[in-house]
Amino acid sequence: MDDNDAFVELSALLTGLYDDLLHDPEHRSLNRPIAVEYARRLKGTFPVKFPALLEAYKTLATATPKPPVNDALLAALRATQAFKDNEIVAKQIVNVWYFSQFKDEKDVLIDGGFYERGEVWPRIKAHPIGFSTQLHGYWSRKPQSASH
Amino acid sequence: MQNEYDIIIIGSGVAGALTAWKLAQLDHYKILILEAGDNGISNGQRVQFHHMMDTQGNRGDPFAPYKDLESRKYAPAAENSQRELADQKNDPNNYYDYFSEATPDKNDAFKASYNRMVGGTTWSWRGNTPRYIPSDFHLHSLFGVGRDWPLDYNELEPWYAQAEWELGVSGNHDELDGLFGGYRSEPFPMPGIPLGYSDLKIKAKIDGKTVRGKPIHVVTTPQARNSKAFDNRPACEGHSNCIPLCPIQAKYDATVHLRRALEHPNVKLRSGAVVTRLEKGHDGCVNTVHFIDWKSKDKPQEKSVRGGIVVLAAHAIETPKLLLMSDNLANSSDQVGRNLMDHIQFEVVATFPEPIYPFRGPQSITGIEDFRDGAFRSQRSAFRMTIGNDGWGRAGSPATVIEGLLKEGKYGSALPGAIADRIPKMSRLSFSTEMLPEQSNRVDLSDKVDALGIPRPRFNFDIGDYVRNGLREGYAASIEIFNLMGAAVLDPQPKKFELGNGKVNWNTAAHIMGTTIMGDDPANSVVDRWGRTHDVPNLWVAGSSVFTTSATSNPTLTIAALTLRMAQAIHREMGGCHAKDE
């Protein structure tokens, strides 16, 4: 299993963004290069723990028959010792997808490079802080449904 | 020796910029502005700072967009000043130093900081511009604590009105006219900022209700933020990023008046110039300003310039530092650096019963003014309360919520729904208390130096029981208000409030005041009612360092009003010593 494919699946599993990362072809395609970049930055920050968590996922995901990527697989992953040992990386994978930033082991924030694509904003019906595209006074109204 | 300039202004924040602009309007004065920082004031510079917001990590950091400036090395500021005292003391690189043998009851960190940039701290201010109320000028006479100003609300009122026009303040006249006796001679130049969806929801639940025995009112905070196109700047687009940077300059900052001042051919700005000393002549007037030009080709070079009048506008830490570095200049009263004040603040956060969708629009639009005055001020501080539109504000970002969800084990399909449920309900109340001017709260010179060999500021600081009791009242009021909303107060709060040793937790509003205090008596104050130092006839001080009391108002509008008034006084006095070489 390709590391990038594994990272996208692992990301979907942890974040719950199954549609955006796996099922919706357009979003999946748009998110692919972002995933590659996030994986690169996470691996650079966690050179031992990131591969260890990814390997633990690959071990489960390459079973025969291949298990579906869903909460059941997540439960299996969370039950592994490798997950428990490397949960800090799991949390940072969630952070990087929702905020395009994550923390290293010393709590220093690291930029993911795609701030405006953070998945948190559509879910809370807000624009990325600092980057509104609406007009004066929009904030008085109840937000419309997000595009996601 | 001939003066090169009629007026030298040290500092290019709101006080320095307004001084330069107003004096340039009044006559063909040759004016030099010396600024330690070095950055542009164009729209291109703003775009570059905004871009920094997209590439750096901590978006809650007021210094975040400015991290790449070379001036951070030569004109340092305390970028981690919100840490507690022990953390600050244990950091050898901390810009702030503390008395090694602090007075036993002086155990607090000084948590406020400021930007040393062209345009000053207004790049990253929130933009709130309430006025003082009349009693704020008579704290000692009315309540037996603190001091009285040498002027009153009526004297300053016309200057407040001018300042509101210059800064471009939006507000609702009818909501604030007559507030605790403070009349308004003119309406605001713009109507108030439209309330946010969250403000409307909160107001519906609490407006007119009784809290701590008094009816409360949710009013639109006056703010230097355009509610329509004004002064060639656009209406606010609600980027929710007032601190640390308004990306479109709908919020006023001092670059407005710097640009305007620099349109006058006789006004010059010299950035990268860290002033180190003011030198007096035989006549008792300051005639030479020494500075280090850190932008010189090879290495920082010492230089000097002569002027007829000197205006110190370097904010309330660097201004007293500079006087102390100048052989204790203008300090016959021994008040330079003393009476250091801040607005001591705390945030209470809660979960509103339904989504209110924060992070849309300005970070705060409304507030509650009802706690700003009363007989209680003889015993404890008054406070202003603001209603946040930014989730849990500094107490916790959306990332804090997700962190909590992951601790609960909410990975996978449970997570997006939980995020959508919890973050839109985040709500914040914050209260900022007044501090009393105390002799022992002070800044002076450390024996530790910065990159240019200039002493760092050294502090002795304690917020005192007057403030602590005000904070306790603010906390109790916040809990009552959240209860009225039906909001679930976060338990425990991200920062525990009562610390159990008679002390309480607190944060800074970063409103530094009082270190060259204003008064009529030269024996116990540094500047007179106009801002001129008692000791040196051609040396003036602009900015919040002259504040006699801190009151509960965010200081910038009062800085602006006093500065405009001071500039007029300087113009009248230009016939004085060394003035205007012909």
CA distance A71 to chain B (A): 6
Task: Give 3-state DSSP helix, strand, coil % of chain A, rounded to 5.
Answer: 60, 5, 35
Same domain, B555 and B531: yes
Pick the residue of B359, B405, B426 with the most A CBs within 10 A to test the interface with A by mutation: B359
> Taking a C-beta distance cutoff of 8 angstroms, is the pair B29, B266 a contact?
yes
Nearest residue, CB atoms, B399 vs list A99, A123, A132: A99
Same domain, B38 and B122: yes
Across A88-114, average pLDDT = 94
Range of the domain at B142: 1-165+252-341+438-463+513-582
Nearest residue, CB atoms, B398 vs list A110, A124, A130: A124
pTM for this predicted structure: 0.95
pLDDT for the residue numbered B12 = 98
pLDDT for the residue numbered B492 = 77
Tally the domains of chain A.
Answer: 1
Active site residues of B: 511
CA distance B457 to chain A (A): 27
Side chain identity at residue B38, one-letter code = D
- Residue B235: closest CA among chain A residues belongs to which residue? A136
CB contact under 8 A, B194 and A15: no
Q: Are strands B507-508 and B488-489 parallel, antiparallel or unpaired?
A: unpaired
CB contact under 8 A, A124 and B194: no
CB contact under 8 A, A74 and B411: yes
What angle do helix axes A87-99 and B398-407 make, rounded to 10 degrees?
Answer: 150
Q: In whole angstroms, what is the distance from residue B311 CA to residue B302 CA?
A: 20
Residue B97, H or E segment: strand B97-98
CA distance B411 to chain A (A): 5
Same domain, B450 and B563: yes
pLDDT for the residue numbered B56 = 55
Same domain, B332 and B352: no
- The answer to the question of residue A71 being in a domain is yes
The residue among B266, B208, B240, B328 whose CA lies nearest residue B28 is B266
Tell whether omega for the bond before B234 is within 30 degrees of 0, i.e. cis: no
Residue positions counted in chain A = 148
Task: Give 3-state DSSP helix, strand, coil % of chain B, rounded to 5.
Answer: 30, 20, 50
CA distance A94 to chain B (A): 8
What CATH number does the domain containing B74 carry?
3.50.50.60
Q: How far is CA B402 from CA A147, B19, B54, B399, B417, in A?
A: 21, 47, 21, 5, 11
CB contact under 8 A, B237 and A91: no
Q: In whole angstroms, what is the distance from residue A145 CA to residue B240 CA?
A: 19
Same domain, B370 and B256: no
CA distance A140 to chain B (A): 4
**φ and ψ at B208, to 5 degrees?**
85, -5
Same domain, B427 and B445: no
DSSP-H helix ranges across B463-555:
464-485
Same domain, B273 and B351: no
- Contact residues for B63 (Cβ-Cβ < 8 A; gap 6+): B77, B79, B115, B124, B244
Percent over 90 (pLDDT), chain A: 92
Q: In whole angstroms, what is the distance from residue B143 CA to residue B7 CA?
A: 40
Tally the domains of chain B.
Answer: 2
Nearest-Å Rg of the Cα atoms of chain B is 23
- The answer to the question of residue A126 being in a domain is no
Same domain, B427 and B484: yes
pLDDT digits (tens, 9 = 90+) for B272-304: 999 999 999 999 999 999 999 999 988 999 999
pLDDT digits (tens, 9 = 90+) for B496-548: 899 888 899 999 999 999 999 999 999 999 999 999 999 999 999 999 999 99
Which B-chain residues 307-346 have CB contacts (< 8 A) with chain A?
A: none
Of B452, B473, B505, the one marking the end of a domain is: B505
CB contact under 8 A, B360 and A138: yes
CB contact under 8 A, A132 and B403: no
Helix (H, G, I), strand (E, B) or coil at B2: coil
Which B-chain residues 380-439 have CB contacts (< 8 A) with chain A?
A: 389, 398-399, 402-403, 406, 409, 411-417, 419-420, 423-424
> Taking a C-beta distance cutoff of 8 angstroms, is the pair B115, B124 a contact?
yes
Question: What is the ipTM, given to two decimal places?
Answer: 0.96
Q: Are strands B5-10 and B301-312 parallel, antiparallel or unpaired?
A: parallel
Q: Tokens for B109?
A: 């960190």
- The answer to the question of residue A77 being in a domain is yes
Q: What is the distance between the terminal CA atoms of chain A, rounded to a whole angstrom?
A: 29
> Taking a C-beta distance cutoff of 8 angstroms, is the pair A8, A22 a contact?
yes
- The answer to the question of residue A147 being in a domain is no
CB contact under 8 A, A129 and B241: yes
Q: In whole angstroms, what is the distance from residue A62 CA to residue B65 CA?
A: 45
Which chain B positions have a beta carbon within 8 Å of A124's beta carbon? 357, 359, 398, 419-420, 423-424
Q: In whole angstroms, what is the distance from residue B281 CA to residue B304 CA?
A: 14
pLDDT for the residue numbered B102 = 58
Same domain, B13 and B160: yes
DSSP-H helix ranges across B129-183:
139-143, 153-167, 173-176
pLDDT for the residue numbered B581 = 46
Same domain, B371 and B449: no
**φ and ψ at B44, to 5 degrees?**
-60, -40
> Taking a C-beta distance cutoff of 8 angstroms, is the pair B236, B227 a contact?
yes
CB contact under 8 A, A16 and B411: yes
Residue B405, H or E segment: helix B398-407
Side chain identity at residue B295, one-letter code = K
Range of the domain at A44: 3-115
- The answer to the question of residue A146 being in a domain is no
* Mean pLDDT by groups of 10 residues along chain B of 582 residues: 92 98 96 98 95 67 88 94 91 92 74 97 97 98 98 98 98 98 98 98 98 98 98 97 95 98 98 98 96 93 97 98 98 98 97 97 97 98 97 88 93 97 96 97 97 97 96 97 97 83 92 98 98 97 98 98 98 63 43
Same domain, B421 and B480: yes
**What would the DSSP string read from start to end of A25-75?**
HHHHHHHHHHHHHHHHHHHHH-TTHHHHHHHHHHHHHTSSSPPPSSHHHHH
Which chain B positions have a beta carbon within 8 Å of A109's beta carbon? 57-58
Which chain A positions have a beta carbon within 8 Å of B403's beta carbon? 91
What angle do helix axes A25-45 and A3-15 make, rounded to 10 degrees?
Answer: 100
pLDDT for the residue numbered B101 = 67
- The answer to the question of residue A124 being in a domain is no
- The answer to the question of residue A142 being in a domain is no
- The answer to the question of residue A27 being in a domain is yes
pLDDT digits (tens, 9 = 90+) for A129-144: 999 999 999 999 999 8
pLDDT for the residue numbered B394 = 84
Q: What angle do CA B549, B554, B556 make, to 5 degrees?
A: 95
> Taking a C-beta distance cutoff of 8 angstroms, is the pair B157, B197 a contact?
no
CB contact under 8 A, A129 and B55: no
Of B505, B526, B557, the one marking the end of a domain is: B505
- Contact residues for A40 (Cβ-Cβ < 8 A; gap 6+): none
Nearest residue, CB atoms, A143 vs list B53, B357, B411: B357
Residues of A with CB under 8 A from a CB of B: 13-18, 70-71, 74, 78, 90-91, 94-95, 98-99, 101, 108-111, 113, 115-116, 119-120, 123-127, 129-132, 134-143
pLDDT for the residue numbered A147 = 44
Residue B289, H or E segment: strand B286-293
CB contact under 8 A, B236 and A125: no
Nearest-Å Rg of the Cα atoms of chain A is 16
Tell the residue number behind the tokens 């990306």, with chain if given: B247
**φ and ψ at B399, to 5 degrees?**
-65, -30
